[in-house]
Amino acid sequence: MSDFINNFWSSYVAVASLLSILGCVLLLWLTARKRVASDSDNTTGHVWDEDLRESNNPLPMWWVGMFVLTIVFGIGYLAVFPGLGSFKGTFDWSSRGEYEQDVAKATQALEPVYARYTPMSIEEAARDPQARAIGERLFMNSCAQCHGSDARGSKGFPNLTDADWLHGGTPDKIVESITHGRTGVMPPAAAMVGSPDDVKNVANYVLSLSGEPHDSLRAGLGKSKFTACAACHGIGGVGNAAMGAPRLNDRIWLHGYGEAAIVQIINEGKHSTMPAQDGRLTEAQIKLLASYVWGMSNPPAATP
Amino acid sequence: MRRKTVIPIVSAPPAAAPEVGLYEATKKIYPRSVQGLFARWRWAMVFLTQLVFYGMPWVEWGERQMVLFDLAARRFYIFGLVLYPQDLIYLSGLLVVSALALFLFTAVAGRLWCGYACPQTVYTEMFLWVEQRIEGNRSARIRLDAGALSVEKLGKKALKHSVWIAIALWTGFTFVGYFTPVRELGSALLQLQMGSWEVFWVFFYGFATYGNAGFMREQVCKYMCPYARFQSAMFDRDTLIVSYDPQRGEPRAPRRKTVDPRSAGLGDCIDCSLCVQVCPTGIDIREGLQYECIGCGLCVDACDSVMDKMGYAPRLIRYDTQNGMEAGWSRRQLWRRVLRPRVLVYTALLALLVAGLLASLVARTPLKVDVVRDRASLARIVEGGRLENVYRLQIMNATERTQHYRIAARGIEGLSVSPDEAIEVEPAQARWVAVRLQVPYGAAPAGSHTVHFDIREADGAAQVSEKAVFLVPR
């Protein structure tokens, strides 16, 4: 891929750069050849505006040497690194390549740091203060954007510090979620449930499952219609971690609280994605992340 | 009658002015060594500045180096102070004070900094001393450089450069010692295990010292230093400058000691050119003030010694002001002009700034807090129907003891903080903690509300208040 829209601009930049350097050489050559008359008072004899006279304050030769070195350096640089239009330079250097090299180097340098935790189980690592500190930093960089810096999530983004897990909260499941990401799909279910009134009834039934304030008459009417939902959410709204279907019989409301929010989600469905971290993070990093997350929802039993 | 032939007088054609180029080869300057009042002052400043520079990294303060700029950890330790990058304002203050001090000294007595304290001057002085010890005095050095290559010349040059390089490398090592604990650096050096950046900077700074003090010398002042170019903005007719008294000195000519200059129609200058020979920038002060003059006063010392030998009054070349020189003022009169408005304003400003800087350093709270609202969640409702906002607090402990900090918040009725246990932060460390603020639902109308975090040492006086915003959704 070229950085220029067409070859003209690439050659324009290259020619302009080379001409500028040539101009510098020319300037230096001409001024070095120039001789000026030197009177006893060190003026060049050039007088204008009646009495303004030009002094000759010669520059030292080493300054010329530095100038020449700069030109040589400039030409050498342009030969080695990309700078002349779309010419890639003989080193085939790119900032992206350098970035990737740096990442590889950093990953390698960090290997011994992570090696300490390889023999540990995720549960053990969760109790190790240093592992937790590393996990926290990884979390802040990769997870806090959605789950919040205290991991308690917000609307649409699950709270990771409670015992409620959409896809299962065992260490293995957490590693799986982080590595491959998760996709939560709830199709729009209004058609399956029935009329808008039925939808409202089902919403009230759902509220009744966790003992939230609800219209018990509507809840009673909605119970039979809930069979359409039970396929995923289970009878009585117990949820299904294998499918990532949330429990509906607890008081945790991921996508908003109250009748209106439930009606909306039945009507419109929901599609949520947790991006896979595989490839972004190393296996060792994912392990420490998982231990940090697991540790937050499984705090050590308080010692009396 | 013959007609008179008029022979026209034709002026001789002017001798062709010599032509020169726009560039010239550098003429090496061989400053003659000189003794006297100002030379002694210069050496006193060399000892003073280098005692501080070379000695400071080795002084310990409690368990650490007294002055250490730990760039890797971003902590700057100066005596009892632990500074964070957030304390940059103190550096700005210090730079302003330094600049103002430079203005003040320059307005009063010209380029004191250049002549006595500038590292370029100080290291050149040291390197010149080495050169003089090894190669001899001025004429010996000129002869040695002009002479053919010999074993003796080679030996002297090799010895000189080795000593120079040793000083330069030690300077580089000391410099790095301000950024890496110097004792650790020393043992790493002995075990040849210095980090690559440390090696680079030792050699880079060493190379700069060797090149600047050994070779570039006055070229730095003449062609590189910006200060030489704008010093004239700080000069006025009452600034003390190194000046030659032409009224007394001219017409200059050599003469015997027995000749009375007055009856011979001569001035006091015997044209011995010693003032030119001792000048580190190679100028002739008798041509008046020039930007190359670094105000070191060595020509004063040289001239005084000659005046003394001739039996004339000293100070034909002296520190004097333009007004003083023209009017022939006495010292008393000169001193009176020192206290002119420009100097008084500079002094007042400088005193004010120094006092302000010191006061703010003394009154500084050794605790800093940054509050960052959580970037992901604006607000959420948690169990119990409470409304919650999340913040990340960076708590920076600027003491050298482990501290426990308590976090409180105020601003909305019923505001609570969790977690509410004390936060432990290790000495000179910073720690990020996630803090949640909760209010009962309906305690505040929708919109953003200003709240304040109050963070204080559990068993100390330090307390910091930071503003934050609490969001209540519609």
Q: pLDDT tens, B391-408?
A: 999 999 999 899 999 999
Query: Who has greater pLDDT, A294 or A57?
Result: A294
Element (H or E) spanning B438, and its range? strand B430-440
Smallest CA–CA distance, residue B282 to chain A, in Å, is 15
Q: Quick one: closest CA in B to A31, which residue? A: B22
Is B224 an 8 Å CB contact of chain A? no
Q: Do B22 and A38 touch (CB under 8 A)?
A: no
Q: Which residues from A are below 8 Å from B22, CB to CB?
A: 31-32, 34, 36, 56, 58-59
Q: Which of A37, A62, A257 sits opposite B26 (nearest CB)?
A: A62
A66 has a chain B CB within 8 A of its CB: no
Which of A39, A61, A251 lies nearest to residue B23, judging by beta carbons?
A61
Range with the poorest average pLDDT among A55-59, B367-371, B395-399: A55-59
User: pLDDT for A280-289, tens place per residue?
Assistant: 899 999 999 9
Residues of chain A contacting residue B18, judged by C-beta atoms under 8 Å apart: 37-38
- The count of CB pairs under 8 A between chains A and B is 90
Q: Does A144 touch chain B (CB under 8 A)?
A: yes
Question: Which parts of B265-330 fold into alpha helices (H)?
Answer: 274-277, 298-310, 322-327
Q: Which residue of B22, B378, B383 is in closest CB contact with A251?
A: B383
Question: What is the pLDDT, as a whole number, of residue B392?
Answer: 92
Span A41-49, mean pLDDT? 79
Provide the pLDDT for residue B441. Answer: 84
Whether pLDDT at B385 is above 80: no
Give me the phi and psi of B249, to 5 degrees please. -85, -30
Would you state the pLDDT for residue B7? 60
With 50 as the cut, is the pLDDT of residue A304 above it?
no
* Eight-state DSSP code of residue B234: G
pLDDT confidence band for B309 (50 / 70 / 90): very high
Q: What is the mean pLDDT of residues A249-267?
A: 89
Note whether A37 contacts B: Cβ–Cβ < 8 A: yes
CA-based nearest distance B23→chain A, Å: 5
Query: What confidence score (pLDDT) does residue B1 get?
Result: 45
Q: Touching check for A302 and chain B: CB below 8 Å?
A: no
- Reference B374, options B285, B468, B300, B302; nearest CA is B468
pLDDT above 80: residue A203? yes
- The per-residue pLDDT for range B61-73, each reduced to its tens digit, is 988 999 999 998 8
With a cut of 0.90, is the ipTM above it? no
pLDDT at res. A4? 80
Task: Answer whether residue B15 shows pLDDT above 90.
Answer: no
Task: For residues A291 and A286, give the distance between their C-alpha atoms in angstroms, rounded to a whole number.
Answer: 9
Higher-confidence position of A24 and A86: A24
Residue the block writes with tokens 């279910």 = A189
pLDDT in tens, A160-175: 998 889 999 999 999 9
Calculate how close chain A gets to B17, using CA atoms only, in Å.
Answer: 6
Distance from CA of B115 to the nearest CA of A (A): 23
Q: How far is CA B332 from the centre of its chain?
A: 32
Mutate which of A30, A139, A150 to test chain B, going by most B C-beta atoms within 10 A?
A150
CB contact under 8 A, A144 and B17: no
**Is the model's pLDDT at A3 over the cut of 90?**
no
> Which residue, among A154, A155, A159, A161, would best test binding to B if mutated, counting the most B CBs under 10 Å from its CB?
A154
CB contact under 8 A, A144 and B377: no
Cβ under 8 Å to A: B residues 390-429: 390, 392
B432 in reach of chain A (CB within 8 A): yes
What pLDDT digit, counting tens, does each position of B216-270 carry?
A: 999 999 889 988 888 888 888 999 999 999 999 988 999 988 888 888 889 999 9
For an interface test with A, give the residue of B20, B23, B386, B433 to mutate (most A CBs within 10 A).
Answer: B23
Residue A190 distance to chain B (closest CA, Å): 27
Q: How far away is chain A from the Cα of B372, in angstroms, using its nearest Cα?
A: 10
| Dist. CA A179–CA A185, nearest whole Å | 19
Q: pTM for this structure?
A: 0.82
Residue A105, chain B, CB below 8 Å: the answer is no
Omega of the bond leading into B254 within 30 degrees of 0 (cis): no
Residue B4: what pLDDT? 56
pLDDT value for A39 = 66
Contact B26 A36 (CB under 8 A): no
Distances B137 to B31, B43, B142, B160 between C-alpha atoms, Å: 9, 18, 9, 14
Per-residue pLDDT at B19 exceeds 80:
no
A61 touches chain B (CB under 8 A): yes
* Contact state of B25 with A152 under an 8 Å Cβ cutoff: no
Which of B18, B374, B436 is closest, CB to CB, to A38? B18
* Contact check, Cβ <8 Å, A36/B19: yes
DSSP string across chain A = --SSSSHHHHHHHHHHHHHHHHHHHHHHHHHHH-EEE--TTSEEEEEETTTEEEE--PEEHHHHHHHHHHHHHHHHHHHHSS-STT---TT---HHHHHHHHHHHHHHHHHHHHHTTTTS-HHHHHT-HHHHHHHHHHHHHHTHHHH-TTS--BTTB--SSSS--SS--SHHHHHHHHHH-EEEEE---HHHH-SHHHHHHHHHHHHHHTT-S--HHHHHHHHHHTHHHHHHH-TTS--BTTTTBPPSSSS--TT--SHHHHHHHHHH-EEEEE---BTTB-HHHHHHHHHHHHHHHSPPPPP-
Q: What is the mean pLDDT of chain B?
A: 90
**Record: contact B390-A145, CB cut-off 8 A:** no
Flag whether pLDDT at B18 surpasses 80.
no
Predicted confidence at residue A154, as pLDDT, reads 83
Is residue A150 less than 8 Å (CB to CB) from chain B? Answer: yes
Question: In this predicted structure, what is the pLDDT of residue A303?
Answer: 43
What is the pLDDT at residue B8? 58
Residues A259-275 pLDDT 10s: 899 999 999 999 999 99
> Rounded mean pLDDT of A142-155?
89
